[in-house]
Amino acid sequence: MNVFNEPDPPTGRAAQKRATIAAVIAAAREEFEAVGYEAANIRAIARRAGVSAGTVIHYHADKRELLHAALFADLEATLAETLADLGRGRLATRLGRLTRGVFRYYEKRPKLSRTLLKESLFADEPWASRFAAQVARVHVEIARLASEAVSRGELRADCDGDGVATAYFAFFYFALIAWVQGGLPDPVALVDRMVQQHLAGLAPGTTTARQGKTTTHATRTEPGKRAESTKPSKRAQPTRRANTGKTGRRR
């Protein structure tokens, strides 16, 4: 029983293990948020958590997994919150709210947004599946919104909610990548535009039969099937920067 301000360490292996894991994850989150992913190093995180570097790596396969573990819950919370706040209105309007809500997760982390996006898109297992499941949940929600839009007469009766959701994700991630690469100041506006344009093809009064060509829609974009991304562009300026070897290097 420690009478000082320092709480007793939990006793028992299971409890100690849980406490250690929690301390490591908290320390990692703080370190990543403070200095970014590249600058954060395992030894600093270990010190912050009061354990050894070996212990940090004991509970997470590698630095990347530690990043996922440290930030995943935040993303989950953001999604839940955003989805709960989509309100009413036209499909495009609600998707716009979704875009803004989720974008905020990245926007408020200038030091981390790029790595968070990059590493989540290309995560290894088991995190690939966790992110996939996360996206699937949003996907289902978007499909639901699309169904409501059909009911309201906003979209044609034969509209495929999955197709809408898939297109939405394509636009969203495309805009996000462009933004983290510095090539797009307002990703939200771009997503809005692309969604508008896309939904235009699904509106009542339009048909799926185009210029005599049968549109062979695949029936369902499996929720587990994601992603398309565009080259993140910076500027069209190739920034020649002649390959002067290492002349300008750290010399």
The site for DNA (CB under 7 A) is made up of 11-14, 16-17, 19-20, 40-43, 50-55, 57-58, 61-64, 245-247, 249-250
Does residue number 13 form part of the binding site for a second copy (CB under 8 A)? no
Does residue number 135 form part of the binding site for a second copy (CB under 8 A)? yes
DSSP state of 218: -
Does residue number 58 form part of the binding site for a second copy (CB under 8 A)? yes
Q: For a second copy, which stretch binds (CB under 8 A), given 4-12, 27-35, 51-59, 78-86?
A: 51-59
Residue 149 sits at φ, ψ, to 5 deg, of -65, -35
86 contacts 110 by C-beta, under 8 angstroms: no
Does residue number 114 form part of the binding site for a second copy (CB under 8 A)? yes
241: left (phi over 0), alpha (psi -120 to 50) or beta: left
Closer Cβ to a second copy, 44 or 229, answer by number: 229
Token pair of 103, please? 């974008």
Token pair of 222, please? 């499996």
Q: How far is the CB of 53 from DNA (least distance, A)?
A: 4
Q: Which does 14 bind (CB under 5 to 8 A by kind): a second copy, DNA, none?
A: DNA
Q: What is the CA radius of gyration of the chain?
A: 23
Closer Cβ to DNA, 235 or 250, answer by number: 250
In whole angstroms, give the CA distance from residue 86 to residue 204: 23
Closer Cβ to a second copy, 108 or 122, answer by number: 122
Q: Which does 84 bind (CB under 5 to 8 A by kind): DNA, a second copy, none?
A: none
In whole angstroms, give the CA distance from residue 107 to residue 185: 11
Q: Which of 10, 15, 17, 43 binds a second copy (CB under 8 A)?
A: 17
In whole angstroms, give the CA distance from residue 109 to residue 12: 37
Q: For a second copy, which stretch binds (CB under 8 A), given 5-13, 78-86, 105-113, 226-234?
A: 226-234
Q: How far is the CB of 23 from DNA (least distance, A)?
A: 8
Binding mask 151-190 for a second copy (x = CB under 8 A): ---x--------x--xx-xxxxxxxxxx-xxxxx--x-xx
In whole angstroms, give the CA distance from residue 176 to residue 125: 23
- Classify residue 55 by burial, with Cβ atoms within 10 Å: 0-12, 13-18, 19+: middle
For residue 217, which of 141, 160, 153, 135 has the smallest C-alpha distance?
160
Closer Cβ to a second copy, 40 or 191, answer by number: 191
Closer Cβ to a second copy, 151 or 233, answer by number: 233
In whole angstroms, give the CA distance from residue 137 to residue 132: 9
Q: How far is the CB of 235 from DNA (least distance, A)?
A: 24
